Structure 1
Amino acid sequence: MRLLISACRAPSRLTSTHNVFIKHNYNKREPRMSRKTVLSALGLAGLVCAPAGSEAIAQEWATEEVIVTAQRRGEPLQNVPLTVTVLSGEALLDLGIDTPAKLAAQTPGFKVSTVFGEGTNPTLFMRGVGLLDFGDVTETPVALNLDDVYLGTQAAQAAPIFDVARVEVLKGPQGTLYGRNATGGVINVISARPTSDFEGRFGVQFGSFGQQIYEASASGPLAASARGRVSFRSNRDDGWQRSLTTNQGGFGQADVASVRAQLEVDVSEQSTLLLRTDYARSDGTSVLYPLTGLLKADLVTYCTQNEAAANLCFNSAGERGVRDPRVGLSNIPHLRNEFEFRLGSATYTHDFGGASLTSITAFQSVDKIFEEDADAAALDRGFTSYALDAHQFTQELRLNGGEDDSLKWIVGVYYFSENRSSSVESPPNFATFADQKSKSWAVFSRADYPLSEDITATAGARYTYDSKSIDVVSPGVMSKESRSIHKDSITGTVGLSWRTNEKTLLYSNFSTGYKAGGFNATFVFDPDSIGPVAPETISSFEVGVKSGYYGGRIFLNGSAFAYEYNNVQSIALDTNSNINVTRLVSLGDASIIGLDGDVILRPAEKIRLIVGIGVLKTEIKSTNVQSTPFPPGFVSVNGNPLPMAPDISFNWLAEYNFGLGGGGDLIIQVDGDWRSQFSFSATGADEANERSDGYGLLNASLKWKDPNGHYVIEGFIDNVLDEIYLSFNSNVFADNAAGAWGKPRTWGIRVQADF
């Protein structure tokens, strides 16, 4: 049950639906559009806006305006010549989105694989660009920033989202203003800031599997020139899985507590200092993996790929998997899934009049222990423990200048330093320990210049230098080995945007991105397998449209894009060792073309409809041949699609407000998403166990709001049809595959109040 009481009344609250669409001053008197302009705008919209999850939806469609900082300055979303999806804090609450992994359901072109199951390292994919890796020494091509601070580890990216103003999802390579491995895109989580007036929030939610969620926040003045904000969230349940082998329950348990404190001080009339600290701790348990046998009843002969995927086969102990996400066959009584996240930052801003300076200094640490039963069975061979101790320091300086009707510019410098100590152990025989040090610095600039009243040109560049070193040891097998990387790169963007009228913006961009090389540190027994793996690069050409018609009752947003993706980093199974392990490799090159966009309709005051689509065509172009244990041999990846890249994906939302007059509003909402068949790995096109059939998820809620919008009571059901689906699956052992289930049907009630 989701029971939340929101005590923080924002002056411009965004709706309880997904993305928050923005209007571009629809109350202004506007010139009549020519027939040619209308046909041009609608023609491009038809190409790139085949419906897909909305960019933003304001509660009052004709009066609200969403300001975003996607380009490192505050500006209306509809003026930003980039593909950006925005979700307000209220939308996140109402959709039950509390982790980055859950954003994907309402963001076209964005997919997340939870390789180890819900509550663990999310693996982010934007338009087919991502890195499916089990290791703890790699960085993802889709960058996640919390209040302008880059979260370098996947463990940090699992930290909860709460008490935020909005989340901005930028698609495509961001190699100019965002330079830290953003070949796929950037997710910006922006916390709600301290306020000059008192606000408060308290909430509670109860639901399936004993779930209890509590939230609280308080914000207001501390002195004439100081404001503070404190936020808290706790999420705990009893776990949603049990083992049929031991009859032990409590697997997949959430037990996460998070707190954030902020102090904002006006140092002078021109200067502000914002101090933040974040802390999150999880003491949950890991999920149980589904078992997929690979052997026929004689326990010797291999099944066919399709027989195994249909769960008609057995492992070497004669066990066959159970196709019920709520149960598993592990013989291990308890599996830890624990992490501790700390972040402290200081943001200083100074307005010089013609320019403004922003300095962001941040320290971050992550500790993690994760345990799994990798064979998903009642065998004594699958227990594996992963540990990580990471410390990160970043410093960014930006200087912004210019006016809207003249040259606007940004220049900046960025520094990144990180130390990671990781281990992976499978007692009693196998273990690998690694210490990695990374340093990076960059200088960047960007300028936007109006060529005319309606056309603006953009150009930007970033120089990045990366240095990485690693020490790896596998006791009893391999003594300490050291490797290093030193690499620099220049990336950037050029673009044009055309404001055809007050309601329509057309844009085109050419952008490049770069991701540093990396190492292997997961069960390393051969010095040659450490790496390094070559850096990957990407080039993107994109055209898009942002438009709204009929007084804000129809919105069309979308884009068409083409990528050249080089030296794609990917994991591959290594069957040459005495155990099967995954390796980070350079897969080769790939091409990506696609469309994503959205259509938002408000045919009547009480009705809102949102439909979204993402269309992708990805193809690996490589001579790479990957090994497979089932049956033992090798598989070519040439011509295969990239992992986590369905050809078609939809998301939708339908809402009807009954309107109770003086009794408030009663709102029924149905939302969901669907994707076509996709692969979990580069070889998934040839291995049925490593791909997913198409599936969809349906959610529903009934919500009451009081007339003043201070209180909300909502009942909801997620995964209404109790769809059974896999979030990941892989042929790991010679006799069985294992993966992770998606969560089954859940229900809840939440109450929300603002004061």
Structure 2
Amino acid sequence: MKTLLKAALLAATAATPVSVYAQETGQEAAEEDPNVIIVTARKTAESINDAPVAVTAFTSESLDEQNLRDVNDIATLTPGLSFSQAFGRGTDRPVIRGLGNVLAGVQFGVESGASVFIDGALFRGDIQSINFDALERVEVVKGSQSALYGRNTYSGAINFITKNPGDEFGGQVRGRIAEFGEYEVTGSLDLPIVPGVLAARVDGRYYNYEGEFTNQISGRQDVGGEETKSISGTLFYTPTDDFDFRIRVGYQKDRDEEFPRTLQFASENNCEPGFRSVRFRNFGPRGQNDNENQYFCGVLRPDPDNIFLNSDEPGIFNGGPSLDSTTPGLAGISGISLERWTLNSKMNWDIGGSGWVLSTVTGYRHDETFTGFDSDHSNLNLFFGPPSVSEAFFSSTNRRIFEDFSIEAKIFSPEDQPIRGLLGVYYYDFRRKQFDITKQSGRAGTDFFRDNDNQIETIENKSIFGRIEADLGETVTIGVEGRYLDEEKGFLEINGATATTDGDLFETPPFKTTDFVPRVTVDWQPNPDTLVYAIYTEGNKPGGLNGSIGAANGLPTYEDETLRGGELGIKKTWLGGQLQTNLSLFYNEIKNVQLTQPVLTTPGAGTATTSIASNQGDAEVKGFELEVIMRPVQQFTVTATAAYTDAKFTRGCDEFEYTLNSGGLNSRSV
């Protein structure tokens, strides 16, 4: 069981806050009150308080007033959302309502239960360095969104909406300075080219953070440093009232030092004794590592006196008594370097002014990353071969190329009719190539067939989806959504390669997923200040491939994780708009939970282990989320949020849970 209770309290600045209390829908509400938050959480524009879904939204004004600068800040003020990173800014792990996976962003193909979107297009890259000053709005939609949003949104979706060009010439420059060498400069410029028809916008950002931990080998305080340079350009074309087209191109370059990490000895563990603990396995010096406990309970914090990184330092042990003082350990690659190109476009066409609207959203991303990590946690680089050829023990350097493309087309019926709906089609294509970097290969990486660390991962998703809504009288609306999805994952890797000999191409048969995910919503609005809604929903998190190591251990694939659940919610305005409360209660049943499982890299030979994904039981997740927004006066707003999640297994357990916790030799199901 895992319980999460999170509360945040915020007093806004004296600037006029953005209201969330108006009840009108869509553009009518925006025209009557410019402070209304209009969201697109259900693929259509509507007031946040009229949307029968749990959604937390932040406008550009509220981002500024509350000084929210990154996704970590968003998670702090969003009930039900938690965010963490495994390896610096290179691995995002958004978790909504407790549905996540430890291997998300680490092992190929394993994903979190929540997906990120930029301007409505799926964005499978890391989002931590996005320019918040270029955002018009951030929407966090909670609960399964598989029917409308598509792949891998079975716990929720996070949508970042960027700003349109302004109608008048102008711009702004903002700066921020903090301790540990952290500073940020952002700028924007609006350029009306043809007034009312064509406008452009340029956004730029420079961010630097020197880091606050010291590498004990070099003596430099550069561990965890980060740098980002980004620029984007947007064109917005509106030749008539019935048509608009928007295109945005972005370029970004990140350079991050290695992130802070230390080695904690098992003697410091303080809970959960088990068979794999140091005392039972007789690893390490008994005088130092004789603690029978397997796990650590509490908050792990880096030990500033125990950070040893040989990433770019000489002094290498060469299998004998001599030291090589000239060869660094990581082939010239240290930390994470990223170069990214993105393109997004959106088109809306009200066909002949009839109210039937054709809309398209397109997204493209190309990332190239170089990563290098030293993970032996010692002040010595140990080599198992000449340092001019091999890499240091427990070091890793590679080059990865990510490329994905998505397109979604939808047609909406007139929104002012008692029966209305939408029908859409979707296509997504993803490809990742990985090349190992050695001292001989240089930054381009090794030849694909000459290195066992080289891989290719592919994903192709095709789906059709729709929604139909009907008003049952003046206060009750029922809506039915559904999506049929067809997805295929592929994975190629090289085995048996040497620096001079081609290896064998290992290919597991593609993993295919087909599913239909429905969603039914009933909402009741007895008066303009109250909205009550009930939801039944299903979701799908695709399975995938474990590669050659999984196949060798009898687990070549893992199956889809699926969800069936429900939600009850109420949104209520009090005291003429001075108080707003939003409460949602949810219950989900999870089948084929995807968990992390340790396995031998070479079964029957040696003790080296790694982790793969597997399905190990069923679970239930229940809880609630609460938002309270108080505005005693126009210039002052206080927001309080709380979330509670209760998750437990209802069938089965982690493959190694019994072994770890009891000292037994066999796993068991309960």
8 Å CA contact 2:482, 2:519 repeated in 1: yes
Q: How does 1:545-560 map to 2 (within 5 A)?
A: 545-560=570-585
Q: How does 1:82-93 map to 2 (within 5 A)?
A: 82-93=53-64
8 Å CA contact 1:461, 1:490 repeated in 2: yes
Deviations 1:273-292 (A, max 9, x none): 21111221101212121321
* Structure-2 separation of matches of 1:618 and 1:418: 32
Unaligned runs of 5+ in 2: 1-11, 268-283, 314-333, 382-392, 441-449
2:250 pairs with 1:278: yes
8 Å CA contact 2:139, 2:160 repeated in 1: yes
2:528 pairs with 1:502: yes
Q: Residue 75 of structure 2: SS of its match in structure 1? A: helix
What is the deviation of 1:427? 9.9
8 Å CA contact 1:164, 1:192 repeated in 2: yes
AA in 2 matched with 1:625: E
Q: Residue 176 of structure 1: SS of its match in structure 2? A: helix
What is the deviation of 1:453? 0.2
* Structure-2 separation of matches of 1:121 and 1:236: 19
2:646 alignment partner in structure 1? 617
Structure showing greater radius of gyration is 2
In structure 2, the CA distance between the partners of 1:503 and 1:327, relative to structure 1 (3 Å rule), is farther
In structure 2, the CA distance between the partners of 1:354 and 1:422, relative to structure 1 (3 Å rule), is same
* Structure-2 separation of matches of 1:634 and 1:407: 61
In structure 2, the CA distance between the partners of 1:62 and 1:553, relative to structure 1 (3 Å rule), is farther
RMSD: 3.4
1:122 alignment partner in structure 2? 92
Which of residues 206, 213, 216 in structure 2 aligns to 1:234? 206
Normalising to structure 1: TM-score of the pair? 0.71
Deviations 1:631-689 (A, max 9, x none): 997686978xxxxxxxxxxxxxxxxxxxxxxxxxxxxxxxxxxxxxxxxxxxxxxxxxx
What is the deviation of 1:158? 5.5
What is the deviation of 1:310? 8.6
What is the deviation of 1:518? 1.5
* Structure-1 separation of matches of 2:291 and 2:618: 32
In structure 2, the CA distance between the partners of 1:616 and 1:636, relative to structure 1 (3 Å rule), is farther
1:24 alignment partner in structure 2? 22
* Structure-2 separation of matches of 1:94 and 1:78: 21
Which of residues 404, 427, 430 in structure 2 aligns to 1:392? 404
Unaligned runs of 5+ in 1: 1-13, 27-57, 312-320, 640-755
Which of residues 412, 424, 432 in structure 2 aligns to 1:412? 424
* Structure-1 separation of matches of 2:61 and 2:666: 47
Deviations 1:136-156 (A, max 9, x none): 443332010001110124x46
Deviations 1:157-206 (A, max 9, x none): 66454410010000011022101211110000000111222331211111
Q: Residue 432 of structure 1: SS of its match in structure 2? A: coil
Q: Residue 209 of structure 1: SS of its match in structure 2? A: coil
* Structure-1 separation of matches of 2:13 and 2:669: 45
Aligned residues: 582
Normalising to structure 2: TM-score of the pair? 0.79
AA in 1 matched with 2:652: S
Q: How does 1:673-684 map to 2 (within 5 A)?
A: none
What is the deviation of 1:571? 2.3
Q: How does 1:16-95 map to 2 (within 5 A)?
A: 22-25=20-23, 64-95=35-66
In structure 2, the CA distance between the partners of 1:417 and 1:308, relative to structure 1 (3 Å rule), is closer
Deviations 1:456-506 (A, max 9, x none): 001011111112221122444983211212221100211100002110100
AA in 2 matched with 1:364: R
1:568 alignment partner in structure 2? 593
Deviations 1:270-309 (A, max 9, x none): 2222111122110121212132101586357531338966
AA in 1 matched with 2:293: Q
AA in 1 matched with 2:205: R
* Structure-1 separation of matches of 2:660 and 2:395: 19
Q: Residue 76 of structure 2: SS of its match in structure 1? A: helix
2:221 alignment partner in structure 1? 249
Q: How does 1:311-460 map to 2 (within 5 A)?
A: 324=303, 328-333=307-312, 335-352=334-351, 353-378=354-379, 380=381, 381-404=393-416, 406-423=418-435, 431-460=452-481
What is the deviation of 1:267? 4.3
8 Å CA contact 1:408, 1:448 repeated in 2: yes
1:303 alignment partner in structure 2? 291
* Structure-2 separation of matches of 1:299 and 1:18: 63
AA in 2 matched with 1:329: F
AA in 2 matched with 1:184: S
- Mean Cα deviation higher: 469-478 or 223-232: 469-478
AA in 1 matched with 2:202: V
AA in 2 matched with 1:557: N
In structure 2, the CA distance between the partners of 1:634 and 1:65, relative to structure 1 (3 Å rule), is farther
AA in 2 matched with 1:359: T
AA in 2 matched with 1:91: S
Which of residues 512, 532, 537 in structure 2 aligns to 1:511? 537
- Mean Cα deviation higher: 546-555 or 429-438: 429-438
8 Å CA contact 2:216, 2:305 repeated in 1: no
2:190 alignment partner in structure 1? 219
Name which structure has the greater RCO, CA cutoff 8 Å, separation 6+. 1
AA in 1 matched with 2:250: D
2:8 alignment partner in structure 1? none
Q: Residue 403 of structure 1: SS of its match in structure 2? A: coil
AA in 1 matched with 2:531: L
